Structure 1
Amino acid sequence: MYEEFNDNITFKLTKYLAVEISVLDYNADTAAFIANDIAVFMDSVKNRMQKEISLPALKIVEQRYTTQAAFIQALEDSLTALRLLGVIDYESQAERLTEQLGIAIVQGKVAAANQLEERLKTLSKYGGAYVSIRDQLEYEKKQLTIIHSKYEEAKVDAENVLQHKFVVNNAFPAEKKFYPIRWLIVLISTLSSIVLTLFILATTTPINMGIKNSI
C-alpha cells in the first residue's frame, strides 16, 4: 500500500509556495476525486492534531481557573472576617480615629477617649493583615482575568473546527491518460526482454548455420 501510494501520488511545492497534488489512476475521474479528497482530508488531520494538544491544554487552564477562583473566595472570606472585627478601611479609619481621639482628649472626654483607644488597638492588631489581604486580593483578581482570557482561547481551539487550507484550483481529470510509473516500468522491462530474446535468436541462427556448412 505504501509503495502504491508513493508510485501513484506525488506532492510538489510550486514557486508560489502552494502544494500541487498529482494522482495517477486508470480512471481520470477517480484520480481527480482522490486528489480533491486528499485536500479535504488535510483539514480533518490538522484539526485532530490540534485537538490532541488543545484538549489537555483546556483542562489545565480550566483547573487553574477553578483553583484561582477558590483562592480569591478564601481571601474575600478573610476580609469579611476582618470587617466583622471592625476593620473596614484601614487607612481612612486610622486617620479618622486618631483625629477623634485627639479631640476627645482635648475636651476631657475620658470615656470616649478610652473607646477610641480600644478601636485603635483593634485596628492596629488586624490592620496589617487587612492591607496585605486586600492588596493581594486585587492582584489575584487581575490574574483571574488573565486566566479567564486564556481559558476562552483554549476553549475555542478545543471546540471549533477550523479550515486550514485554501484551494487555489480543484483537481480535474487529465485530458491525456497517464499510467502509474510502476506499471510503465514493468511494461518497458517486459518489452525489452522480448526484443532482446528475439535479437539473440536472430543472431545465433545464422552462426549455427555457418558452423554446420563448414562441417
Structure 2
Amino acid sequence: MSSRSYSLLGLWPVVNRWKTLVATAVGLALVLSVIVSLLLPNIYKSTAVFYPTNPSSTDPDRIVSDGGKLELGGRAEDLDRVITIGESQTLAELIITRFDLHTHYKVGKAGTDVADQAALEEFNSNFTIVHNDRDAIEVNFLDEDKVLAARVANTIVLAIDSINQQLTFENRRKVIDLYQGRKEFLEREYSAAHDSLLQGRRRYGIYGMENESRYLGRAIIQTETQLRQAEGEGNSSKAAGLRKALRGLTKADGGNFLNLENYVKGTDLMATTYARFADIQGRLIGARNAYETAKLAISGKISSIYVVQKAFPATKKTSPVRWLIVLSSVVITLVLSLIFVTLLELYRGNLTVGRPGPEPQS
C-alpha cells in the first residue's frame, strides 16, 4: 500500500470550525497590544563620540618643557582603558548621585542597598559604551527625558576624561611634594652656607675682591723695603713705625683687618666654603625651576580625549516601535491559536490530515 500524502489544506476545516475562537483571540491580542504599546513611554537615545589621546602626548611636563603636541590614540591599550573606566562602578555611582537617578527611576531613597542596586541596574541597562569600527568610542544613554539623556551622556564623557587624567597624573602630586621638599631643604642649606661664608669673610678678611692677594703682597713688599731703607739710614723712629706696619700686614694680632696670616689661613677654607655655596646655589635654582614647572604642569588641565560629537537631545524616539509590537502580538497569537485548536482536534480524534491514496491493483 502506498504512503499517504499530507497537505496543510486539511487544517482548513479545523480553522473554520474554530474560527470564532481564533478570531476572538486575535482580536483580543490586537486590542491589548495597541493599549500596551500606547501606554509604553517614548525612549530617546543620545550619543557622544570621542577619540582617546595618547597619555604621553598630554604629559604637562613634556608640553611645558618640549612643546609636545596632542596625538590621537586609537591604540588598543588606550581604548581598553577608556572603556574600562566607562564601565566602572565608580563612574556609575558618580552619575547616579549627580543626577539623582534614584528619584528619577523611582527606586527608593538613596543609601539603602535595595535602592542603590536597583538604580545601578537601571542605569547600566540604559548606558552603553562601545568601540566602533572607526576606532572611536561611542557613549549611548537611553531615557524617557531626551534632554536628560543628552546631559547624562555628555557628563559621562567629562567624567571619563577626569578619571583618565587622575589615573595619568595620580603620582604627579607626590612628585610635587618631593620637589617642594627638595627645594625647602636646599633653601635651608643655602642659608647655612651663606652664613658660613659671611662669618669666614669677617674672620679672615677675605671678600673675594679682584687682585686682593696682589694688593696685600705689594703692600708687604713696599713696607718691608721702606723698613730696610730706614734701618740703613739709621732712622730708628721711622723704622719702628714701619716695623709695626709690617707686623700688622703679616700677623693676625698686628691690628690690620687684612693680613697675610689670616689670608693664608682662610684661603683654603673660604675656597671650600664658596665652592659649596656656589654648588648649593646652583642646585637651589634648579630645584626652584623644577618645582615651579611641576606646579604649573599639574595645575593645567589638558583633556585626555578628543570629543568629535557631543550628545544632543534626540529628535526621534528610539523605542518602542508600536506597529511592530502590535503586528508581532497578532501573529504570535494567531499561530498559537492554530496550534492549540489543531492539537485539540487531534486529541479528540476529529482531525483527518491528508487523503488516502489509490488502492493497489491485483
TM-score between both structures, scaled by the size of structure 1: 0.71
User: Equivalents in 2 of 1:60, 1:27: separation in Å?
Assistant: 49
1:29 to 141, 147, 153: 147
Tell me which residue corresponds to 1:77. Answer: 195
Equivalent pairs, count: 204
Pick closer, same or farther for the CA change 1:54–1:200 going to 2, 3 Å. same
Q: 1:94 maps to what in 2? A: 213
Alignment of 1:45-56 (within 5 A): 45=163, 53-56=171-174
Alignment partner of 1:145 out of 256, 261, 285: 285
> 2: CA distance between counterparts of 1:15 and 1:122?
83
Distance 1:15 1:196, change over 3 A: closer
Relative to the length of structure 2, the TM-score reads: 0.46
Secondary structure in structure 1 of the residue aligned to 2:206: coil
Q: From the superposition, tell whether residues 27 and 94 of structure 1 become closer, same or farther in structure 2 (CA, over 3 Å).
A: same
What CA distance in whole angstroms lies between the structure 1 residues aligned with 2:224 and 2:178?
A: 59
Identical-pair percentage? 24
Q: CA deviation at 1:44?
A: 4.4
Q: Which runs of 5+ in 2 are unaligned?
A: 1-118, 229-241, 252-258, 321-328, 353-362
Alpha-carbon spacing, 1:124–1:13, altered in 2? closer, same or farther (3 Å): farther
Instruction: State the Cα deviation string for residues 111-157 of structure 1 (Å, max 9, x = none).
Output: 44333322222122221121111122122112112211222233334
Say which is worse superposed, 125-134 or 194-203, in terms of deviation.
194-203
CA gap of 1:56–1:199, structure 2 versus 1, over 3 A, is farther
Q: Distance in 1 between matches of 2:338 and 2:267?
A: 110
| 1:114 corresponding residue in structure 2 | 247
2:190–2:281: 8 Å Cα contact kept in structure 1?
yes
- 1:11 corresponds in structure 2 to 129
* Higher Rg of the two aligned structures: 2
Quote the offset at 1:171 in angstroms.
1.1
8 A contact 2:345–2:351 mirrored in 1: no
Relative to structure 1, the CA distance from residue 105 to residue 7 in structure 2 (aligned partners, 3 Å threshold; closer, same or farther) is: same
Paired amino acid for 2:310: N
Q: What is the match of residue 205 of structure 1?
A: 344
Query: Aligned-pair distance for 1:72?
Result: 0.6
1:134 correspondence with 2:274? yes
What is the rounded CA distance, in whole Å, between the counterparts of 1:136 and 1:179 in structure 2? 77
Aligned counterparts of 2:187 and 2:134: Cα–Cα separation in 1? 50
From 308, 313, 317, give the equivalent of 1:173: 313
CA deviations on 1:137-182 (whole Å, 9 max, x unpaired) are 12211211221122223333455555555433221234443359xx
Answer yes or no: is 1:67 the counterpart of 2:172: no
* Distance in 2 of aligned mates of 1:162 and 1:136: 40
Q: 1:82 to 1:168 in 2, by over 3 A?
A: same
